Amino acid sequence: MHIDVVEYLITIISPEAVNIQNDQGNTALHWAATNGHAKVVETLISKGKADYKLKNAAGHTAMLEAELNEREQVVAWMLINTELEEEIKEGNDDEDEDEDDETSSDEEEEEEEKKQIEGSSTKA
């Protein structure tokens, strides 16, 4: 079975080799996730210490590649067994703060425009 090969390879390669990226920036983890090989993803992360935060040239993590390719089992495993779920929540919180900043900025601009309009209508 291919998982036996993956486990064997992990024992004979250097720890850094598991995260080698090809010319598109994909690692073995990216490929396993993209193709829905959940057991390989699990083995690469848990035994091979694959860096699940690495991004490819498109800026995608292995989990995002799995999600884009509708590999729900891989996405579910990665969310449960890595810190990605917490990072996603933190990222969403940051986006919410950015949206709040944009909203208050927009509101300030609208108030300024109203004042300018009111000022010009009282002069007329």
| Per-residue pLDDT tens over the stretch 24-33 | 999 999 999 9
Percent of the chain with pLDDT over 70: 67
37: left (phi > 0), else alpha (psi -120 to 50), else beta?
beta
* pLDDT tops 80 at residue 18: yes
Domain ranges, ordered by start, for the chain: 1-82, 83-124
Mean of the pLDDT values across residues 86-110?
62
CA 71/CA 63 separation, integer angstroms: 9
Q: Rounded to whole angstroms, what are the CA distances from 42 to 13, 39, 79, 80, 94?
A: 18, 5, 12, 11, 29
HSE toward the beta carbon, residue 111, CA cutoff 13 A: 6
* pLDDT tops 70 at residue 60: yes
**Residue 38 or residue 123, greater confidence:** 38
* pLDDT tops 70 at residue 117: no
| Per-residue pLDDT tens over the stretch 23-59 | 999 999 999 999 999 999 999 999 999 999 999 999 9
**Residue 26 or residue 112, greater confidence:** 26
Among 90, 63, 88, CA closest to 75: 63
Provide the whole-model pTM: 0.69
CA 25/CA 60 separation, integer angstroms: 9
Structure tokens at 70: 């509708």
Confidence of residue 70 (pLDDT cuts 50, 70, 90): very high
Q: Return the CATH superfamily for domain 1-82.
A: Ankyrin repeat-containing domain (1.25.40.20)
CA 116/CA 83 separation, integer angstroms: 50
